[in-house]
Structure 1
Amino acid sequence: MRASFVMERNFLILLSGIFINGIGGGVYAVSGMMLVFQLSGSVIYSGFAFFALTLASAMAFLIAPFANYVTYKKGLIGCEALKFLLLFTIPLFYFTVGLNVFYVILILFIVALISQFSYPIESTIMPIIVGKENIIKANSYFQTVREGMSIVFVAGAGILVVVIGPVQAILITAICHVLSSITYLFFTFQQEKATERPVIGQLVTTYTNDLKAGIRYIQDSLIPKMIVSIVFINFAMGVMMPNMPAFALIKGNGSEALYGFYLAAISLGIMIGAILAPRVKKFSFGLLTIVSFSITGLLWMGAAALPAVPSLIFFCIGTISIGILNILMFSSIQQQVESAFIGRVLTVLTSAASIGMPFGSLLGGYIGETFTAIVPMYLCGIAMIIFSLSWLFNAVLRKLPKIDEAKLFPARPVTETNFEKSL
């Protein structure tokens, strides 16, 4: 099974779910933010919407520990079904009692919170399905498929939103969540029994211990040395992303379809990065990060200044570094962390890294509304260069060897007996 994991039943089921969600997610990525922008007519509200989305990521550490008390299969099926019900209310209310921009933002927030519950489950089952020795290849494969689908469907979604409208497009996303929920019914992999649900007092104690376990696991690792610069870069991304709908309208002379093309450019860049990740892992991880993100900064400043077509090309190429870093970091964590701790470690790390993005989105909405949506693009490009310089002047990060040899986490036995079972 390990040698031919691509044809393994559970791998194909998970891949099918990702494919279906790739269709819905591509449509949702365009229609959700564009609906907020259309209902409000203001970048400020786009900033509020992106604040809600990214705040959910920052709150992952509060949500994910509850995944301990469900089986992987039931957790994934339930999350997809709940997303359908919530998203379905948007077209339902639109065609009946009317739709309020704040309600749309609230639904975006809740759906994002549900994703924080399912994310550690998906991360934990991957080593079970493919084996730790195949993690980098499997993640690269999944990321390539996910972003490949995103390129097609996000680009198409921009046109779809123009033709049928963002509300009807969101209904398509809701239907995709139902289909992925049905797909996950066919999982057959083995897992240990979910942790028994405790009474309220025990729940609070266990919940707190789960969070502490994840924090303790990373405190002696290299992660704290990276986290400040990662928070900074996410803050900068938060400044840029709420302005993307308005930025695309400027570059496209009022065409809403171009927003989908910019999101597709992000997906294409991340996909190329995912494809390149297994090939560039032989290079020093520290220097690879420094060089690639400095190039990203220059390209994104060029994207802000150039007309639509070269702007899209520069923006896409600049995103490749993000795809490489994501795969190498994610795979390293899955390889070096005991399976019982993967979900907790990823949750703590993701929450910490995401904390800057919600506040960046509020500032980005203000900057875009006060000046122009092009200014945040320049600022984000400058931030990428500052990020690379922060690694350059940090001896530990600069000297990191190739990712397979970089010991991000010290080897240790699992001594916390309360957490011997996986999620």
Structure 2
Amino acid sequence: MKKIKPFVMERNFLILISGVFINGLGSGIYSVAGMLLVLELSGSVLYSGFAFFAISSANVLAFLIAPLANYAKYKNGLVYSNFIKALILFTIPLLHYTTGLNVWYVIGLLFITALFTQYTYPIESTILPIIVGKDNVVEANSYLQTIRESMDIAFIAGAGIIITLVGTIPAIIITATCLVLVSIIYSLFTFQQPDFQNEKPQSIGSAVNFYFVDLRAGFNYIKNSLVTKMLASLVFINIAMVIMTTNLPAFSLEKGDGLEAVYGFYLAAMSLGIMIGAILSPRVKKINFGKLIIFTFIGTGIMWMGASTLPLMASMILFCLGAISIGIINILVFSSIQQQVETAYVGRVITVITSAASLGMPVGSLIGGFLGETFAPSVSIMVCGISMVLFSIFWLSSSVLRKLPSIDHINLFTDYKAKA
């Protein structure tokens, strides 16, 4: 029997796991309820596009927000930011039961809460080595990632059922209550806060200068790397994915004959596919990365085209299987970055890359909203499937990308290290 590592039973790690667990429950419900509420208030897929535009715009701004995590005590940042998010979400039922809700108000709140998420996620990643020690970081990350992926499957699927039983507004109250509980749990942290006293700026001008120095560091690291050559492909994938996810609420209602729970089932199916991809990634990492991407994404495209046309059960199965390639590419690319980038730059580099890759998402959300308003929701799912096949053809036609070796032998930052 495998012995449990001592850090697993450490007080602060248990607090972090508890916070991640409850936050996963709340965010799972919110991810379903928020989009369905927009659809209910507007009656239009076009507004779903505006909602995804707001959320994806916050993702694009992540590189501007992440450095702010270093300018406050980590514990305070987690406690107050989650509590403020809860207060913001409580205004939705307050207005609903009094003056009434406006769809643009809900879309604005989706944007604001997404901004707060861009602030708290880097803090959770940063405090992990403080809590468990650097020697246990890989295993601790594995625990947390398993919890997050498992909860995405269970809670998002469960969210659809909860919303069907109680409605979208009570579901948002549940999310806000979960955030209050997370704030209370995180207030129990007792880890030693790193001393930033010597690094604190003495004036507003020096604070701004510190901020921009931190900001430039991430950009400089990837400026002349292979990553920049791959970003165009990642942007294209994100545009296609957002076109699909913008229409997923309406597509799910169409496939499920109006049953709201089906939306949660489709989101859970995607999470399950991504988790399967994450599990398979160590087994396929020895395959040439170029060929792996080409063949897996051709498969994704074909399966998602099938998901757009087939009946509900077959559609959900193909939707799940098509997401496996997303899980594989996420794990392989970001694991490679974590292995090759100096520890001090990992957070900033990943934030810059994810922000850059998100650049096309606001555009994709507007395109998805237009397509959903003009055509049946299934058309957008078909467009996403076709886009994945086109993406594979692009990699196949590029000799540089097609011939990429296995991920362990790709040196993503050769140029940067040569100049360092």
Normalized against structure 2, the TM-score is what? 0.91
Q: Contact conserved, 1:272 with 1:320, CA < 8 A, in 2?
A: yes
Residue 366 of structure 2 corresponds to residue 362 of structure 1: yes
Paired AA for residue 233 in structure 1 = I
Q: Contact conserved, 1:144 with 1:275, CA < 8 A, in 2?
A: no
- Aligned twin of 2:308: 304
Paired AA for residue 319 in structure 1 = A
Task: Return 5+ residue gaps in structure 2 as ranges.
Answer: none
- Aligned twin of 1:219: 223
Select the residue among 142, 146, 149 that pairs with 2:148.
146
Q: Contact conserved, 1:60 with 1:351, CA < 8 A, in 2?
A: yes
- Aligned twin of 1:184: 186
Q: Contact conserved, 1:56 with 1:109, CA < 8 A, in 2?
A: yes
Write the distance in 1 (CA, Å) between the matches of 2:293 and 2:146. 20
- Aligned twin of 1:384: 388
Secondary structure of the corresponding residue to residue 54 of structure 2? helix
Query: 1:3-31, CA deviations, whole angstroms, 9 ceiling, x for partnerless residues?
Result: 66545544433322221111111101110
Q: Which moved more, 1:300-309 or 1:80-89?
A: 80-89
Q: Which moved more, 1:167-176 or 1:335-344?
A: 335-344
Paired AA for residue 83 in structure 1 = K
Kindly state the Cα deviation for residue 205 of structure 1 after the two structures are TM-superposed. Answer: 2.1
- Aligned twin of 2:116: 114
Query: 1:84-103, CA deviations, whole angstroms, 9 ceiling, x for partnerless residues?
Result: 11111111111122111111
Write the distance in 2 (CA, Å) between the matches of 1:337 and 1:41. 47
Paired AA for residue 254 in structure 1 = G
Write the distance in 2 (CA, Å) between the matches of 1:286 and 1:198. 49
Kindly state the Cα deviation for residue 165 of structure 1 after the two structures are TM-superposed. Answer: 0.9
Kindly state the Cα deviation for residue 133 of structure 1 after the two structures are TM-superposed. Answer: 6.8
Secondary structure of the corresponding residue to residue 187 of structure 2? helix
Write the distance in 2 (CA, Å) between the matches of 1:13 and 1:391. 44
**Counterparts in 2 of 1:71 and 1:290: CA distance versus 1, 3 Å:** farther
Write the distance in 2 (CA, Å) between the matches of 1:278 and 1:180. 33
Paired AA for residue 339 in structure 2 = Q
Q: Contact conserved, 1:286 with 1:391, CA < 8 A, in 2?
A: yes
**Counterparts in 2 of 1:278 and 1:73: CA distance versus 1, 3 Å:** farther
- Aligned twin of 1:95: 97
Kindly state the Cα deviation for residue 54 of structure 1 after the two structures are TM-superposed. Answer: 0.5
Q: Contact conserved, 1:274 with 1:323, CA < 8 A, in 2?
A: yes
Q: Contact conserved, 1:69 with 1:197, CA < 8 A, in 2?
A: no
- Aligned twin of 1:257: 261
Aligned CA RMSD, in angstroms, stands at 2.4
Q: Contact conserved, 2:201 with 2:210, CA < 8 A, in 1?
A: no
Write the distance in 2 (CA, Å) between the matches of 1:68 and 1:134. 22
Kindly state the Cα deviation for residue 76 of structure 1 after the two structures are TM-superposed. Answer: 2.0
- Aligned twin of 1:35: 37
Write the distance in 1 (CA, Å) between the matches of 2:401 and 2:242. 24
- Aligned twin of 1:419: none
**Counterparts in 2 of 1:326 and 1:122: CA distance versus 1, 3 Å:** farther
Secondary structure of the corresponding residue to residue 355 of structure 1? helix
Identity %: 60
Query: 1:159-202, CA deviations, whole angstroms, 9 ceiling, x for partnerless residues?
Result: 21121110110111111112222222344444532341552222
Secondary structure of the corresponding residue to residue 404 of structure 1? helix
Q: Contact conserved, 1:136 with 1:278, CA < 8 A, in 2?
A: no
Residue 85 of structure 2 corresponds to residue 83 of structure 1: yes
Select the residue among 57, 65, 74 that pairs with 2:67.
65
- Aligned twin of 1:352: 356
Write the distance in 2 (CA, Å) between the matches of 1:10 and 1:395. 49
Write the distance in 2 (CA, Å) between the matches of 1:11 and 1:349. 28
**Counterparts in 2 of 1:299 and 1:253: CA distance versus 1, 3 Å:** same
Query: 1:202-235, CA deviations, whole angstroms, 9 ceiling, x for partnerless residues?
Result: 2322222222111101112211011001001111
- Aligned twin of 1:12: 14
1:233-252 correspondence runs (5 A): 233-252=237-256
Q: Which moved more, 1:179-188 or 1:241-250?
A: 179-188
- Aligned twin of 2:279: 275
Write the distance in 2 (CA, Å) between the matches of 1:226 and 1:348. 14
Query: 1:297-355, CA deviations, whole angstroms, 9 ceiling, x for partnerless residues?
Result: 11111100101000000001111111122222222222322232222212211110001
Task: Return 5+ residue gaps in structure 1 as ranges.
Answer: 416-423
Residue 342 of structure 2 corresponds to residue 338 of structure 1: yes
**Counterparts in 2 of 1:392 and 1:316: CA distance versus 1, 3 Å:** same
Q: Which moved more, 1:338-347 or 1:228-237?
A: 338-347
Select the residue among 321, 328, 333 that pairs with 1:324.
328
Select the residue among 386, 393, 396 that pairs with 2:397.
393
**Counterparts in 2 of 1:367 and 1:133: CA distance versus 1, 3 Å:** farther
Kindly state the Cα deviation for residue 154 of structure 1 after the two structures are TM-superposed. Answer: 1.2
Kindly state the Cα deviation for residue 399 of structure 1 after the two structures are TM-superposed. Answer: 3.3
Paired AA for residue 260 in structure 2 = E
Q: Which moved more, 1:326-335 or 1:225-234?
A: 326-335
**Counterparts in 2 of 1:268 and 1:365: CA distance versus 1, 3 Å:** same
Residue 200 of structure 2 corresponds to residue 200 of structure 1: no
Q: Contact conserved, 1:120 with 1:342, CA < 8 A, in 2?
A: no
Write the distance in 2 (CA, Å) between the matches of 1:165 and 1:92. 15
**Counterparts in 2 of 1:282 and 1:125: CA distance versus 1, 3 Å:** farther
Write the distance in 2 (CA, Å) between the matches of 1:306 and 1:4. 49
Kindly state the Cα deviation for residue 276 of structure 1 after the two structures are TM-superposed. Answer: 2.2
**Counterparts in 2 of 1:188 and 1:49: CA distance versus 1, 3 Å:** same
**Counterparts in 2 of 1:48 and 1:239: CA distance versus 1, 3 Å:** same
